Copies of this chain bind each other. A is one copy, B any other.
Amino acid sequence: MLLLVGLGIYGYAGLSVKALDSLLSITNIYVEKYTSPMLESEIDNLKQILNKEVKVVPRWFVEDGREILQLAKSNDIALLVYGDPLIATTHIDLRVRAENNGIKTRVLHATSSITSIIGECGLHMYKIGKIITLTSEIQSISSIYYTVYGNILSGNHTLVLLEYNQEKNLFLNPNNAFEMLLKSEIDQKYNVFSTETFAIVASRVGSENQSIVSGKIKSLIETEFGEPPHSLIITGNLHFTEIDALRVLIKTIDEPTDNSKNIMKIAEQMIMKYVPKARKALEHAKNLVNDDTSFNDIFENAEYYISDAEKFLQQDKPELAVLSIGYAEGLIDTIRFLKGVNMWE
């Protein structure tokens, strides 16, 4: 039998009565500490509270999994992991492989840093969009950019987990993360990140020296956050009770602001840009053919559809807005083809 036990976010003292009870009868206890920091003293405390030996195993050992699975065929084995054990795909994979090999599995869930961080900030769980991990690899940045963009457009917050690998002594600090996010703006240009963007940095949540700080990126980028692990939250639209919570429950350097205010849907950007252009071209076209009444219907309809584009946008029907402005442009442009003039200049 393979038992996956979550250690939660409080170290050995976070183990539940149920977990301690289950571990009582198990001799083979493994601990993996590669996804989160765990000091030697923490391992010692774990041995003491369990009153038995535990084997600290490296990342490859869990990912490979063969030794654990071999042993679990005829023995009860427990693997202790930080947080809620099935958040990491490695542990799901191990469980599936065990069951496929006829090995019974059980899971004892535990406190996850994900729900704890969101709660500690006083943010509403149902306003959290897709969760992502930012790694130091430059390739990961564009998918982060579009995830945050999409979440903010829907008014949602984005929890950004920062790469942490104790084995390789590799972790991304929030200051570098903000630099990466600001740099991504130069390429993508949807106004997702600027030095004015409001964000939250949650550090060491669950530990004695937990720290949560919010503010604009320009303030946070110059703040020292100390030891990992860290996570960021890029907020979307903030409910007033969320703003209250940020002010009262965590350290807030700058006034919380609504990051969604500077962000527009692609369709919205198009309408803002193309409507005035089309209006100007239409006036120009009218002047160019002012003695010819055969175009009156075309001009009237163009005007009508330009207004429609604005109306559809207000009604949150961006696709119809874009269709309307495209149609108006088509009508106007026929004057160019028929009269050989350019009214767009």
Contacts and interface: CB of A to CB of B under 8 A. Distances in A.
A99 B248 contact: yes
A337 B17 contact: no
Question: Which residue, of A15, A20, A89, A301, has the highest number of chain B Cβ atoms within 10 A?
Answer: A89
Specify the main secondary structure of chain A where it touches its partner: helix
- Complex A-B, nearest 5 residue pairs according to Cβ-Cβ distance, in ascending order: A330-B330, A326-B326, A86-B119, A13-B18, A297-B337
A84 B100 CA distance: 32
A55 to B, nearest CB: 22
A100 B9 contact: no
Contacts of A249: 95-96, 99
Interface stretch (A24-32, A121-129, A167-175): A121-129
Interface in A206-258: 206, 241, 244-245, 248-249
A267 to B, nearest CB: 5
Contact of A111 (B92, B109, B156): B109
A159 B327 CA distance: 40
Interface stretch (A60-68, A69-77, A182-190, A316-324): A316-324
Interface string A81-123: 0001111010011011001100000011111101110111010
